[in-house]
Structure 1
Amino acid sequence: MSLRRFPRGVYDHGAEPDPRFTLANERTFLAWIRTSLALVAGGVALEALHVPIHSGLRLAASLVLLALGLVVPPLAWRGWAAAERAMRRGEPLPSSGVLLPLVVGVAAVALLLVLGTVLR
């Protein structure tokens, strides 16, 4: 009897890796999910607390944070799956697809907040 695990597109490849590596990959995925929750919370808080900066730039920063919070989970899922497949095949681990959008987005939010503070 074979085990049917989700997602089959990941688990139907290669051999079972060392459980420590699989669990580390899962912890990394969960860390990205926590990051996503923090981004959403920051976006909501920025608007809900009416931080005293230019209102248009505050709203823009809030929307960027919320968008990042929406984009990070699917990218993290894709990264988890790619890393798991690579481990199962004995291949080098792929680079993360989450880093660049996150760096660009957080830098954009910082710029918006600085401009919003200067222009208030």
Structure 2
Amino acid sequence: MCGCPFTDEGFAALASALKSNVSYLRELNLSENKLGKSVDQLSAVLEDLHCQLEKLWFRDSGLTDEDCASLTSALRSNPSHLRQLDLSGNKLGYSVKLLSAVLKDPRSNLEKLW
């Protein structure tokens, strides 16, 4: 789904579908999409204990520190499966420190963060 011109409604539909079928999806590439308020909906998917995502890409998606904080909170709630997270090309500041704490969490399987 890299570079797809999603609307907020499109992301809401995607998040709803992921919540109902999370156990089958292992990789999701949402790079080059302007996520906006949709990050909160996607974070809710990551918080779901049934979420089995192992690789997630948000490269060049216009993420803010607030978006990253929302993702970090979700990863703290459900740290067990995600192994790779690509946030490259986003202008992040203080939230990078929040993410580094997730890397140090012994329950986390996050191996690669860029």
TM-score, normalised with respect to structure 1: 0.23
**Structure number with larger C-alpha Rg:** 1
- Higher relative contact order (Cα pairs below 8 Å, separated by 6+ residues): 1
> What TM-score do the two structures reach when normalised by structure 2?
0.24
